[in-house]
Chains A and B, each alone.
Chain A
């Protein structure tokens, strides 16, 4: 058999695996791979401006298409720059494969030029990682890496390839299907547990479905089944930040997001429910609040493909270790077979309607300033009116929470946000990745004035590849989320949370060949948004919003769901040391 170089084997594998785009940045230790790419025009390479950008682009691509995102970076600083995005993908269960160059095998350990212990550094921020020392093993490792990244609980997998392994040759044969010796994710739930789950659901008087990112990880079938389950049981549905879109926001059964900045009705319903069905969510501390007061009178069923998510923070009564789609389809089938009818939940819904009547997402308006919530609501209605497929990404902060609260998502894979790591600098590159994967969609990054500066260099990338992404900055001249916490817990001592020396975002856009738009007051809002949507090519919008708005509702850290704050008048401005010690 003819031999191929390690670099050619890698590229061959990527093609066999259906990879059509790679986000990367060259350097000495990956030059052989870049040379191989030169001859394989079928794989599109997106040249980023910073390796962190490449990782978030890969995440955005992955979350919006359901396919793994692929990153290619050089050794040393290339690899270390990628670490934040790799960790982000681990926390949010995003399938990603990262190829890093490494110094030649005989140089490893000698503090060679641009040597970093990439495997050591990324061991605990990847789902798995590999150092490949033999080109003959490369093909199997690459195929295995994609298998591990995309199955079970998805996550980032890194393959470190020394430069001499890229140059040396070996025979290449496309590997057979992966039958891994020790890695075997459990797909189907125990049938006995399914029976118990159905009985518990049928007996519930105050059920609630708490769905999460795992529904989106599981795929479109899981989303469909979630809707079907809600339909046949009549149960209300809430979701985590990561799960938005899996259940349609337009459904009357939708309660809105739960947790720290979730709605009054969803948090109270969680608190008063007698049965919680957790579907692909992980009882994160932003969701549970004070653990000993979390849903105290409920029985809990947890569907999760990762056994370590079960009983990690909240103990549940019934665990279904399974893929969401498989477990939901088994539950629905058995529910129907047993002839269960929708229970009479009228009383439960009446209570929920009582909580809804508090209208927890309302906000005050004075006509002089743009309220950030209004900007999101208008953005939502204007984009909806276009009839286009809309994908929203966010940075991290208040704007992210307002987007989660005021933008309605009716389908999965349209909402891309950094939940677990909360990475400022995620949203804009994620939008570029999403646009690469969805050329015809309207992709908008909702940003804050501080976050957007963390990967703003990627404006050049969008220009280079003619990607018509839109950046919509809610410019409050503050790191608003930090300022809000300082207001609430440090008696308004605004230590280093003012965004001083902001650039002129309009001129900055123009410098990169973008269109820049400034929206200064409520009367300009609608037209500004319209102009953004109608302008072909990339657009950056500097939307000046009220500077000191706070994001409500809010469950202060360490508090119970029932201690939710609905508006600033309930804020005391100080906090105990115990509460201060929690993030």
Chain B
């Protein structure tokens, strides 16, 4: 009998600058699937006045050797300008935005509001029986918040995925 073994994985946040051209997302996402790499989240938006360059932030996980390969494989794609492993490149900031819908009445509703306050979540929509909270922060903070809301009437969640930049005055 033969069984397939899994390897230990590390989470890494990669920041890419790429030419803002048709098909670039498919090229990157497809490279991940073709080579069996994980994408935990991926965000993209153009970041220059002339719309020539986009920043893509990818959260991925894998054994260190695989992370190395992922970076090399991204780097050799023709439209990719630069790949930075934020996780391995000194201090950095990562943020994610979530919209969290919670429905409930009575104590649950009050508790949800109280927790939202602790997390500095904003109420962006409300009815008598529901809220939508807007929350930004690192992934764990959002995970924790969503976990708490689950017990208080969580209906659904929308998340942007992570964006990140290195700390200090330099660009990546």
Contacts and interface: CB of A to CB of B under 8 A. Distances in A.
A148 B26 CA distance: 20
Interface stretch (A221-229, A275-283, A305-313, A416-424): A305-313
Given A182-B19, A308-B69, A312-B69, A123 B27 contact: yes
Contacts of B34: 124
Interface string B19-57: 100110011001100100000000000000000000000
A370 B80 CA distance: 55
Given A181-B19, A577-B2, A578-B2, A128 B78 contact: yes
A131 interface: yes
Contacts of A124: 30-31, 34
Contacts of A148: 78
Contacts of A315: 65
Nearest to B21: A130
Interface residues of A, number: 24
A578 B4 CA distance: 10
Given A131-B22, A312-B69, A581-B2, A181 B31 contact: no
Contacts of B18: 182
A182 B79 CA distance: 6
Contacts of B1: 577
B23 A308 contact: no
A119 interface: yes
Contacts of B76: 153, 306-308
Interface residues of B, number: 23
A339 interface: no
Contacts of B81: 181-182
A182 B30 contact: no
Interface in A82-134: 119-120, 123-124, 127-128, 131
Contact of A311 (B27, B65, B75, B78): B65
A90 B132 CA distance: 50
B89 interface: no
Given A124-B34, A127-B78, A315-B65, A310 B72 contact: yes
Nearest to A126: B78
Interface of B: 1-2, 18-19, 22-23, 26-27, 30-31, 34, 65, 68-69, 72-73, 75-81
23 contacts: A119-B23, A120-B26, A123-B26, A123-B27, A124-B34, A128-B78, A148-B78, A180-B78, A181-B81, A182-B18, A182-B19, A182-B79, A182-B81, A306-B76, A307-B75, A307-B76, A308-B73, A311-B68, A312-B69, A576-B2, A577-B1, A578-B2, A581-B2
